[in-house]
Amino acid sequence: MIKTQNKIFYICGKNYTYAMYVNDMGFLQHAYYGKKINHNDLLLYINEVCKKLEPLKEDLNLDFSLDSMPSEFGCFFNHGDYHEPSVIIEQLDGATMCRYRYFSHEVKDEVIDIAELPHARGCGQTLSITLKDDFSDMEIVLNYTVFDDCDVIVRNAEIKNVGHTAIVIKKAFSFCLDLPKAEYKLLRLHGRWAGERIPEITPIGHAVTKLQSIRGQSSHQMNPFAAILKDDCGEDVGECYGAQLIYSGNFAITAEIDYNDRLRIQGGINECHFEWELDPQVNFVTPQVALCYSATGIGQLSREYADFIRGHIVNSQYVYKKRPIVVNNWEATYFDFDNERLFSIIDEAAKLGIDTFVLDDGWFGKRNSDATSLGDWFVNNEKLNGGLKALTDRCKNNGLNFGIWFEPEAISEYSDLYRVHPDWAIGKEGVEPARWRNQLVLDFTRKDVVDYIFNAVSKILKDNEISYVKWDFNRNISEFYSRRLTNQGGFAHRYILGVYYLAEKLTKEFPDVFFEGCAGGGGRFDTGMLYYFPQIWTSDNTDAIERMKIQWGTSMCYPLSSMSCHVSACPNHQTGRVTPIELRGTIASLGATGYELDLTKLSDLEKLSVKQQIANYKKIDELILKGDLFRLSDPFYGDFCEMIVSKDKRKAYFVYATRNERSKNVIRLKGLDASKLYTVNDNMTFSGHALMCVGLPLPVMDKNMCLSLTICEKISKSTDGARYEF
């Protein structure tokens, strides 16, 4: 709900309030972000306290500085706001001075539709505040969209050139949040290939801390998410603020404690490699950020983000649709396959209850290694005798659906496409390009290139019975250069706009195809990509022990249903670790589950276990899609334990996996209804209160063992004669 009165702006969600006001000099100031507070109480407070802190006169020549006043946006290169700015706009003569003051505002009962960028959708209400520069023909519109069903505020900024001369935007952040003095820590999700989204918490010092990617994608190394933890905030207690950019390209989020011990957090497009020429009468729209507040710890922040992503980011057509249980041939065969080998996997998959076979890399051009053929999106008939039809028929005869892998943004130098269009690869003549994984990147800033790829991918999807696409991207960008652009500063942002354009076009053209995102594992696992693809391959590391950590970290701000999680072979291909198939299956059940191994090589006992896993998954998949996640024991410090509880608190799924020689034997559950009676795995009955206060007694378990339990409300026969069952 949004209320405005005397230029005081009051935004109120389920459990939070956000407030700002225009001061006597016309500057938009931040007033409050925190626990929900009554409108009148806040009005009184702002009038009594905030407004009195300022010089009362309108005389801007007074010796006063905006440095000590909490701003809504860092856009005062005049009057001394010496924090990092949110925007830098350069006039024709090089001048960057600016002083943006309130001009107007409006409230609309809808979200903002940004055509070229992923954005929050569904029902929402938006407040737009326009600021005008005193010195130039520039305006900045700050947008705030709020929702009834989650504690998230979506913000972004629109930079408008309303004048008659072109200007250059050198920095364009999406949001800025000034918070009062407190002890603040910063939670970020850092990582690497095969080890993505590892949570790290550090105090924020008196300097600018910058989380960023300059790799052309959101990256394995740093996720475009940060949480500010206040004072003693932990998993279930204390206040925290999240900032999650709905963006998949070069980003930055900075946190800065100033000389007054106050915090400014802000973020958006990374200014490195960025410079945007803005013609007269044209706007530049920054990516959105999803801000989230929780008064009850990081766990609640995660649940709010999960609700937001499911309710307002992922396409509603897929979000609650049961996910295909796939077998993917990558770790089973890598590039070394032919029809017969794939047929045997398909046949076995059908026997085990798997519903989709996904053909990974290696089916096109002359691709028998990673050195060739990217861009040649036509089937390798020498390798696949009978083409894709032979495979789709085999699937169909077995009652399976068929999925296929593409890497639309990449091009190999050894490819027909490169021979004809060498200039379609990004880079500059005379400068040796980096050839990570032996490949180059297509110039997605060019519409003709993207349209060509659209047609090539579409042809495969149209000519064959395909229900699933895995869209991969296996390298970072190192040459931010297009042969076609006159201003290379626009390259990085235009590149990701090209990716979004293709993703939008393909998903619209093929609404019945289910898309999974991927970037060398989880190198582009972000809310921007989730707008187009409901799930993303979480990591190339499929080792169950490493996956506990990766999935735990990913769950900080993404729903379980967005994580694609597969059971792979043993010893694990990435770590060499040996783990029981039960453990691998259980950890993979905490997401969109699937298999990534040669099913024909499993023993009879293992096959039995896979069948059981699939049958069990079908009982809990609703919870994975819609439930609330509660993290119980952190795998970075000991055993792993999580549970998912249905919104009505009648069902739950509990997973415990040991990292230690012997596990502790009682664990307190979370998220249940204290007043309800629950049966655990159909054979024990406890009250919700006891399970949450005393805890669930566990059997003694050895290292790498796991326990998965279903918890279900017990309804006595006398009430309605029925039991609630999985």
Residues 6+ apart with CB under 8 A from 340: none
Residue 235 or 370 with smaller CB distance to ligand DGJ: 370
- Number of Cα atoms under 13 Å in the Cβ half of residue 407: 28
Note the helical H segments in 227-386: 297-312, 316-319, 330-333, 339-352
Of the residues 357, 532, 537, 617, which one makes contact with ligand DGJ according to CB under 6 A: 537
Q: How far does Cα 289 stand from its chain's mean position?
A: 11
**Contact positions with ligand DGJ (CB under 6 A) in 385-424:** 405
Distance, in Å, from the CA atom of 64 to the CA atom of 56, rounded to the nearest integer, reads 11
Tokens of 206: 């008196």
Of the residues 521, 534, 635, 671, which one makes contact with ligand DGJ according to CB under 6 A: 521
In the bound complex, which residue of the shown chain has the CB atom lying closest to ligand DGJ?
A: 361
DSSP secondary structure letters along 469-489: EEE---S-------SS-S-GG
Query: How far apart are CB 370 and ligand DGJ at their closest, in Å?
Result: 6
Q: How far does Cα 105 stand from its chain's mean position?
A: 31
Of the residues 158, 258, 361, 628, which one makes contact with ligand DGJ according to CB under 6 A: 361
Of 606, 621, 628, 639, catalytic: 606
Q: x-or-dash pattern for ligand DGJ, window 280-319, by CB under 6 A?
A: ----------------------------------------
Distance, in Å, from the CA atom of 579 to the CA atom of 572, rounded to the nearest integer, reads 8
Residue 270 or 538 with smaller CB distance to ligand DGJ: 538
Of 361, 526, 582, 621, catalytic: 526
Stretch of 206-214, 248-256, 513-521, 571-579 contacting ligand DGJ, by CB under 6 A: 513-521
Stretch of 163-171, 518-526, 677-685, 714-722 contacting ligand DGJ, by CB under 6 A: 518-526
Stretch of 48-56, 89-97, 517-525, 527-535 contacting ligand DGJ, by CB under 6 A: 517-525
Instruction: Using DSSP bridges, classify how beta strands 535-537 and 514-517 pair: parallel, antiparallel or unpaired.
Output: parallel
Whether the CB-CB separation of 256 and 208 falls below 8 Å is answered with: yes
Residue 575 or 687 with smaller CB distance to ligand DGJ: 575
**Contact positions with ligand DGJ (CB under 6 A) in 12-71:** none
Whether the CB-CB separation of 3 and 31 falls below 8 Å is answered with: no
Query: How far apart are CB 472 and ligand DGJ at their closest, in Å?
Result: 5
Could you tell me which of 589, 631, 583, 582 has the C-alpha nearest to residue 609?
582
Residue 520 or 585 with smaller CB distance to ligand DGJ: 520
| Amino acid letter for position 565 | C
Q: x-or-dash pattern for ligand DGJ, window 76-105, by CB under 6 A?
A: ------------------------------
Distance, in Å, from the CA atom of 383 to the CA atom of 580, rounded to the nearest integer, reads 34
Handedness of CA 319, 325, 326, 332 (dihedral sign): positive
Instruction: Using DSSP bridges, classify how beta strands 468-471 and 514-517 pair: parallel, antiparallel or unpaired.
Output: parallel
Stretch of 89-97, 106-114, 285-293, 514-522 contacting ligand DGJ, by CB under 6 A: 514-522
Could you tell me which of 324, 594, 363, 382 has the C-alpha nearest to residue 464?
363
Tokens of 689: 């209160």
Query: How far apart are CB 44 and ligand DGJ at their closest, in Å?
Result: 56
Residue 337 or 656 with smaller CB distance to ligand DGJ: 337
**Residue 408 DSSP code:** T
Query: How far apart are CB 475 and ligand DGJ at their closest, in Å?
Result: 10
Distance, in Å, from the CA atom of 335 to the CA atom of 710, rounded to the nearest integer, reads 39
Residue 522 or 528 with smaller CB distance to ligand DGJ: 522
Whether the CB-CB separation of 550 and 582 falls below 8 Å is answered with: no
Residue 73 or 525 with smaller CB distance to ligand DGJ: 525
Residue 151 or 361 with smaller CB distance to ligand DGJ: 361
Q: x-or-dash pattern for ligand DGJ, window 454-483, by CB under 6 A?
A: ------------------x-x---------
526 is an active site residue: yes
Query: How far apart are CB 131 and ligand DGJ at their closest, in Å?
Result: 43
Tokens of 454: 């659209």
- Number of Cα atoms under 13 Å in the Cβ half of residue 257: 13
Which residues partner with 186 through β-bridges? 202, 228
Helix axes 604-626, 339-352, angle to 10 degrees: 70
Query: How far apart are CB 326 and ligand DGJ at their closest, in Å?
Result: 12
Query: How far apart are CB 537 and ligand DGJ at their closest, in Å?
Result: 5
Number of residues that bind ligand DGJ (CB under 6 A): 11
415, containing H or E segment = none
**546 near ligand DGJ, judged by CB under 6 A:** no
Query: How far apart are CB 271 and ligand DGJ at their closest, in Å?
Result: 30
Query: How far apart are CB 187 and ligand DGJ at their closest, in Å?
Result: 26
Whether the CB-CB separation of 436 and 492 falls below 8 Å is answered with: no
Of the residues 229, 518, 645, 691, which one makes contact with ligand DGJ according to CB under 6 A: 518
Query: How far apart are CB 202 and ligand DGJ at their closest, in Å?
Result: 29
**Contact positions with ligand DGJ (CB under 6 A) in 313-342:** 330
Distance, in Å, from the CA atom of 129 to the CA atom of 11, rounded to the nearest integer, reads 13
Stretch of 157-165, 232-240, 516-524, 689-697 contacting ligand DGJ, by CB under 6 A: 516-524
**540 near ligand DGJ, judged by CB under 6 A:** yes
Give yes or no for a cis peptide into 511 (omega within 30° of 0). no
Residue 154 or 374 with smaller CB distance to ligand DGJ: 374
Stretch of 121-129, 515-523, 648-656, 664-672 contacting ligand DGJ, by CB under 6 A: 515-523
Distance, in Å, from the CA atom of 200 to the CA atom of 185, rounded to the nearest integer, reads 10
Distance, in Å, from the CA atom of 393 to the CA atom of 404, rounded to the nearest integer, reads 14
Residue 143 or 474 with smaller CB distance to ligand DGJ: 474
Distance, in Å, from the CA atom of 383 to the CA atom of 363, rounded to the nearest integer, reads 7
Of the residues 520, 534, 627, 635, which one makes contact with ligand DGJ according to CB under 6 A: 520
Of the residues 348, 360, 413, 606, which one makes contact with ligand DGJ according to CB under 6 A: 360
Burial letters 70-82, b for 16+ CB under 10 A, else e: bbbbbbbbbbebe
Binding site for ligand DGJ (CB under 6 A): 330, 360-361, 405, 472, 474, 518, 520-521, 537, 540
Any idea which residues carry the catalytic annotation?
526, 606
